[in-house]
């Protein structure tokens, strides 16, 4: 018995060394970007002030899950090796062991309780809704996004302006960097979901319901956005681009929209949908000029 136990230990040790060798080789082969992304457990680089609270929750949850998972596997492995036996006698039974049963009933509640506590903390940061510097009315419609910018934030433009897309031309959303923006979400047709991955948060867009959230984009760049709620045939076309730009560029973009005559508010589906008679057309408007490439 002693010899085979020794052997099992040696085989286990060799396996562990081989596995960590493979893991190290994989890590060493990664670019700096990939390694950084591994450290964020798959999240993109955060694009808002508020995102870090969600990022910390995400990483903390994985660490907690890792600690618990590894402990459980280690215990299973230890029991399997330590108490393995060649005889077929019924092993000692531990049913109705009260301390044990209390432990495995209470332990999951402790885990859930800790996760719940930190989720509430993160949620409080994300839903603080500070007074915004500007407001964008976001309309999710089958199957594009319309963004309405209020003139109040940029008096030099002098009017509210909007922009939209079609299933063949994705929409763009412009935001000034380091300004707090409130998104008011509405839909004239079915449920959609407004998602910009670098914000780390998304929110459903539900007809007849006043959903909103507030973020402060703090990184200039062009980011992807999409509908995250299966909303119909061309759901996959509900993509948009978020341009987080300087204040001057933001103002210039709004002026361009005003010059194109895209003034006032477009709160329904403003553009006829080019695919058959799908979509709604409650307010015909000039088709938007192409911005950037087509998809």
- Report the distance separating Cα 243 and Cα 221, nearest Å: 6
Taking the complex as a whole, the smallest distance from the CB of residue 145 to Cu ion amounts, in Å, to: 9
Residue span 237-276 as binding mask against Cu ion, x where in contact by CB under 5 A, dash where not: -x--------------------------------------
Q: Does 231 bind Cu ion (CB under 5 A)?
A: yes
Residue span 185-214 as binding mask against Cu ion, x where in contact by CB under 5 A, dash where not: -------x----------------------
The pair of structure tokens assigned to 230 is: 């299966």
The pair of structure tokens assigned to 178 is: 């380091």
Show the DSSP H helices in the chain as ranges.
Answer: 2-28, 32-39, 51-82, 98-126, 247-259
- Report the distance separating Cα 250 and Cα 260, nearest Å: 16
Angle between the N-to-C axes of helices 51-82 and 98-126, in degrees from 0 to 180, rounded to the nearest 10: 160
Taking the complex as a whole, the smallest distance from the CB of residue 17 to Cu ion amounts, in Å, to: 50
Q: Does 182 bind Cu ion (CB under 5 A)?
A: no
Q: Which is nearer to Cu ion, 50 or 141 (CB)?
A: 141
Q: What are phi and psi of 181, to 5 degrees?
A: -120, 135
Q: Which stretch binds Cu ion (CB under 5 A): 104-112, 230-238, 250-258, 285-293?
A: 230-238
Among 157, 227, 245, 269, binds Cu ion (CB under 5 A): 227
Which positions touch Cu ion (CB under 5 A)? 192, 227, 231, 238
């Amino acid at each position: 018995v002693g010899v085979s136990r020794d052997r099992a230990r040696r085989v286990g040790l060799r396996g562990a060394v081989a596995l960590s060798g493979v893991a190290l080789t994989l890590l060493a082969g990664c670019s700096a970007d990939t390694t950084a992304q591994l450290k964020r457990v798959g999240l993109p680089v955060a694009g808002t002030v508020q995102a870090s609270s969600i990022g910390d929750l995400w990483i903390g949850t994985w660490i907690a899950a890792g600690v618990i998972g590894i402990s459980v596997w280690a215990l299973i492995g230890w029991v399997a090796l330590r108490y393995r036996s060649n005889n077929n006698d019924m092993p000692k039974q531990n049913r109705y062991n009260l301390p044990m049963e209390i432990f495995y009933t209470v332990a999951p509640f402790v885990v859930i309780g800790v996760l719940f506590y930190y989720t509430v903390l993160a949620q409080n940061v994300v839903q603080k809704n500070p007074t915004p510097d500007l407001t964008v009315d976001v309309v999710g419609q089958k199957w594009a996004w319309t963004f309405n910018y209020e003139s109040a934030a940029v008096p030099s433009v002098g009017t509210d302006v909007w922009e939209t897309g079609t299933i063949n031309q994705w929409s763009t959303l412009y935001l000034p960097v380091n300004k707090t923006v409130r998104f008011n979400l509405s839909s004239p047709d079915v449920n959609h979901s407004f998602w910009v991955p670098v914000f780390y948060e998304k929110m459903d867009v539900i007809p007849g319901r006043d959903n909103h959230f507030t973020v402060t984009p703090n990184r200039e760049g062009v980011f992807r956005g999409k509908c995250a709620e299966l909303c119909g045939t061309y759901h996959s076309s509900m993509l948009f681009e978020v341009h987080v730009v300087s204040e001057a560029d933001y103002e210039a973009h709004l002026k361009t929209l005003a010059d194109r005559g895209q003034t006032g508010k477009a709160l329904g589906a403003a553009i006829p949908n080019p695919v058959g008679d799908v979509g709604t057309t409650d307010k015909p408007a000039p088709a938007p000029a192409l911005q950037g490439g087509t998809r």
